Amino acid sequence: MKKRIAILGSTGSIGTQALEVIQQNPEKFEVEVLTANNNVDILIGQAKKYQPNAVVIANPDKYNYVSEALKNEPIKVYAGADALNQVVQMETIDLVLTAMVGYSGLIPTYNAIKAGKNIALANKETLVVAGEIITKTALEKKVEILPVDSEHSAIFQCLVGEFMNPIEKIYLTCSGGPFRGKTEKELQLVTVENALNHPNWAMGAKITIDSATLMNKGFEMIEACWLFGLQASKVDIIVHPQSIIHSIVQFEDGSMKAQMGLPDMKLPIQYALGFPSRIKNDYSRFNFLNYPTLSFEPPNTKIFRNLALAFEAIKMGGNMPCILNAANEAVVEAFLNGKITFLQMPVLIEQTMQKVVFVQNPTLEDLIQTNAEARNRTMLLIENRK
């Protein structure tokens, strides 16, 4: 039986690489649903090639264009946010890969879990914003959440066969991004182009900026807490510029397991899609002699404030990680549009965290409201700053 996959966000970096994995393994997988936000031409091309049962274009203004282009294909075309929430519940889906950008992943992922679909989770913001609700609902529905993020896939792989053994500590590795070792003064001058130039990973714009500010690592720490049931105090961040060790689990006997390999997102994608089986491939193999030194250093949370803010947010709990995420999405967009500088981003996030009403035990509705309120706050702060 082939695994029937729905890819939410199929035109992005993770989505397109997942389709490559599927194309290389036609006897194992088939594409059931593809969705995109705005990227109609890529979506249409993918639909013609992979022949899903249905496609969803989230922006309803683009429905006619997509539906016209696919009128001779046996593919259902839907548009809008409601369609996205419904399509994930289709009976013919075995696994939903959530690869959208940011907060937009939350509600469709929640609906997929409610419908009992196993999740390959690439959208970390879902767990940052609503980790408690998502993990609780997944448990109730007996749904598996398989991590696609390379660090979490590494930890997940290290934990196979260890479910009885408590975790003493997790070391999340971090490349350090393009600005590792830079001083505050040097960071005053960096451009959007500098920030988009990641040394090891080719990714979408939003996550690349998050990697440069280390917010990505902060989000991954929160994601790890929810995925593996840990307090933040058990998660350490270690900068490892070569990105060969993808993360490490330390057990109560002091033994450590690490998962290694060349940095290639197709590996964690393939592991999540194929789980529990590993799939043979011919990707490049790691060669120790090409890497005589693997190095490690602590992150600088004084300069890269976002990482410290993420630890504060998860320790406070409640809706604070949701505020953190909403403020971050607003500042990243403003930075990409040239409205604010690199170093203004953490300042604006911290101000938003201080201003939005704190809720200790938020419902999903509360989080939806918090997200809107925090975004508005940050946008006001951006406009009124002097």
CB of 119 to Mg ion, least distance (A): 17
Q: Is 329 in the site for Mg ion (CB under 5 A)?
A: no
Nearer to Mg ion, 151 or 373 (CB): 151
User: Is the CB of 32 or the CB of 149 nearer to Mg ion?
Assistant: 149
What residue type is 43 in one-letter code? L
The distance of closest approach from Cβ of residue 268 to Mg ion in the complex, given in angstroms and rounded to an integer, is: 9
CB burial readout 143-172, b (16+ within 10 A) else e: bebbbbbbbbbbbbbbbeeeeeeebebbbb
Q: How far is the CB of 150 from Mg ion (least distance, A)?
A: 5
Nearer Cβ to Mg ion, position 79 or 214? 214
Biggest alpha carbon–alpha carbon distance for the chain: 62
Residue with nearest beta carbon to Mg ion: 149
User: Of the two residues 125 and 149, which places its CB atom closer to Mg ion in the complex?
Assistant: 149
Given the complex with Mg ion, which of 151 and 329 has the nearer CB atom? 151
DSSP for 11-43, please give it: TSHHHHHHHHHHHH-TTTEEEEEEEESS-HHHH
Gap between the Cα atoms of 379 and 42, Å rounded? 31
Q: How far is the CB of 245 from Mg ion (least distance, A)?
A: 13
Cα–Cα distance, 7 to 120 (Å, whole number)? 9
For 104, the token pair is 């937009």
Identify which of 327, 169, 184 has the alpha carbon closest to the alpha carbon of residue 238: 169
| Identity of the residue, 58 or 215, whose beta carbon is nearer to Mg ion in the bound complex | 215
Query: Which residues in 105-164 contact Mg ion (CB under 5 A)?
Result: 149-151
| Structure letter (DSSP) for residue 149 | S
Q: Least distance in Å: CB of 220 to Mg ion?
A: 5
Q: Which candidate, 339, 337, 378, places its Cα nearest to that of 355? A: 378
Closest contact distance (angstroms) between CB of 81 and Mg ion is: 27
User: Virtual CA dihedral for 124, 88, 108, 202, nearest 10 degrees?
Assistant: 30
- Quote the least distance from Cβ 164 to Mg ion, whole Å: 27
Size of the site for Mg ion (CB under 5 A): 3
Considering beta carbons, is residue 246 or 375 the nearer one to Mg ion? 246
Q: Which is nearer to Mg ion, 13 or 150 (CB)?
A: 150
User: What is the closest distance, in whole angstroms, from the C-beta atom of residue 330 to Mg ion in the complex?
Assistant: 22
> Shortest approach of Mg ion to residue 174 CB, angstroms?
9
Using CA atoms, how far residue 299 sits from 180, 186, 277, 291, 356, in Å, is 9, 17, 35, 22, 28
- Site residues for Mg ion, 227-266, by CB under 5 A, read none
- With CA atoms as reference, report the closest residue to 121 among 88, 153, 89, 158: 153
Nearest CA among 198, 215, 100 for reference residue 148: 100
CB 136 within 8 A of CB 161: no
Residue spans of beta strands (DSSP E) within the chain = 3-8, 29-36, 54-57, 76-79, 95-98, 118-121, 145-147, 167-174, 235-239, 245-251, 256-260
Task: Identify which of residues 52 and 241 has a Cβ nearer to Mg ion in the complex.
Answer: 241
Least distance between Mg ion and beta carbon 216 (Å): 6
CB-based contact 214:187 (threshold 8 Å):
no
Question: For residues 149 and 333, which CB has a smaller minimum distance to Mg ion in the complex?
Answer: 149
Q: Decide if 60 contacts 93 (C-beta within 8 A).
A: no
In the DSSP assignment, the letter for residue 386 is: -
Q: Which residues bind Mg ion (CB under 5 A)?
A: 149-151
